[in-house]
Amino acid sequence: MSASTHHYVIALGSNRRGRHGSPRQELAAAVAAIGDVVAQSRVIETAPLGPSRRRFANAAILIESAETPAELLARLKQIERSFGRRRGRRWDARVIDLDLILWSGGAWSSPGLTVPHPLFRQRAFVLRPLASIVPDWRDPLTGRTIRQLAARLPG
């Protein structure tokens, strides 16, 4: 990895068929669209949050990129739009959801983006896939590893 290249952890989720097929197929297509994947978790199925009734397919990837967090976020949002994602109700059914969770530069804050993702420590559907690919990555705010954060989850 060169000095200008960063590592990013991205959480992926889908609970609605899209042009690529099933939610699992949507995740696979999104991983291909993002590219530069260093590690990928297996896909897990989880119960939805909020009003959606459809179960989610969730996964996480570790990528390398020379992009800044803001540049990567813009690209992730463009990929979501190209997959048919429309802004709507929070936690509603969606073809694809791509969240920038962590980056190798530590913490980042700008309008519309906070890294680490503010809620990732409370979400099993994010932490469990992360623990399988970056168990020793330290949360820059708490100092705990992903493995330690996942172990604190109930159940």
Task: Please give the pLDDT value at position 78.
Answer: 96
Task: Please give the pLDDT value at position 47.
Answer: 82
pTM exceeds cut of 0.75: yes
Task: Please give the pLDDT value at position 85.
Answer: 73
Closest CA to 113 of 82, 85, 72: 72
> Which portions of the chain are predicted below pLDDT 70?
1-3, 50-52, 87-92, 155
Task: Please give the pLDDT value at position 94.
Answer: 83
* Angle between helices 69-82 and 23-34 in degrees, nearest 10: 140
Q: Which residues are catalytic?
A: 85, 94, 97, 99
